Amino acid sequence: MSFDLCVWRENHPITGAQALRTYWWLCGSERLGAADESEFTLAHDERVDAFHTELLDAHPPLEGLDTAEAEDSPWSMTPDHMPGSYVIMMMGFSDAPEIAPAVIDLAGRYDLVCYDPQAMRVHNPGEIVDTDGPRLEFCDGGIVNDPRPRDLPDLLGQITDRNWFAVLERRPGWFMQVGIGERAGGLPDGVFGLEYREGDEDRHFRVLLSDPEEVAHAFQGYAEGHDHWKSTLDWQQE
């Protein structure tokens, strides 16, 4: 087995679920099933090739190395490169603590997405993240710029015990966030801690819920910009 990373270009940030499906598609995994190619949004970009060149300058391909050099290489196989499209890297687990952070950093410097299927975490580059408008962020690194209210139930359905937290931020200090389970303040399994804040610390409120539809409804109201959702739940000041 190997420790894998995959790098490609997106013009907008993506969620962890999108990144996983894209990774499976690029790998030709049978786990994807019959997928429509139109669902994948990776963009053809020469920065993928520049990333690949710099990567192999630091850690050359296995072909052409002598036995000792090959044994010292982090690669389990020479990185798979589709010009302008993607790079898939396979390395030994013992090399991953040193090499993986360097790969993630290098991808970010070329404004490329990097996906780690071991941690199921996506690294969206800052260049494609909208810092001026509302955005939904997950603890697995997934990001959606200016999410449409009607999409929020499906998006929030990605929250699990592993991907346990999401926040919809309008601007600094103004947000709605939700967490589930033990890591969200020691909550029981299946219980959501839903919070919102309106600037000042004394405008921070919380409620505990067990119905994901109530969570999604509150997020939808918040995204739509009205306050009707406030009266439907028993908010407590934090």
pLDDT tens sequence across 97-146: 999 999 999 999 999 999 999 999 999 999 999 878 899 999 999 999 99
pLDDT at 131: 79
- Paired with 4 in beta bridges are 90
pLDDT at 70: 93
Model confidence at 37: pLDDT above 90 = no
Mean pLDDT of the chain: 95
Is pLDDT above 80 for 153? yes
- At 29, the pLDDT band (50, 70, 90 cuts) reads confident
Q: Establish how many alpha carbons lie within 13 A of residue 238's alpha carbon, considering only the half-sphere containing its beta carbon.
A: 16
Q: How confident is the model at residue 5 (pLDDT cuts 50, 70, 90)?
A: very high
Is the model's pLDDT at 34 over the cut of 80? no
**Which pLDDT score, from 0 to 100, does residue 50 have?**
99
Q: Can you tell me the distance from the alpha carbon of 81 to that of 62, in angstroms, rounded to the nearest whole number? A: 14
DSSP-derived letter for residue 99 is: H
Task: Report the predicted TM-score, pTM, of the whole model to 2 decimal places.
Answer: 0.90
Is the model more confident about 28 or about 164? 164
Contacts of 100 (CB under 8 A, 6+ apart): 3, 5, 91, 116
The answer to whether residues 7 and 48 touch, using CB atoms and an 8 Å cutoff, is yes
- Which of the four pLDDT bands, split at 50, 70 and 90, describes residue 35? confident
Reported as a pLDDT band with limits 50, 70 and 90, residue 36 is confident
CA-to-CA distance for 48 and 225, rounded, in angstroms?
Answer: 39
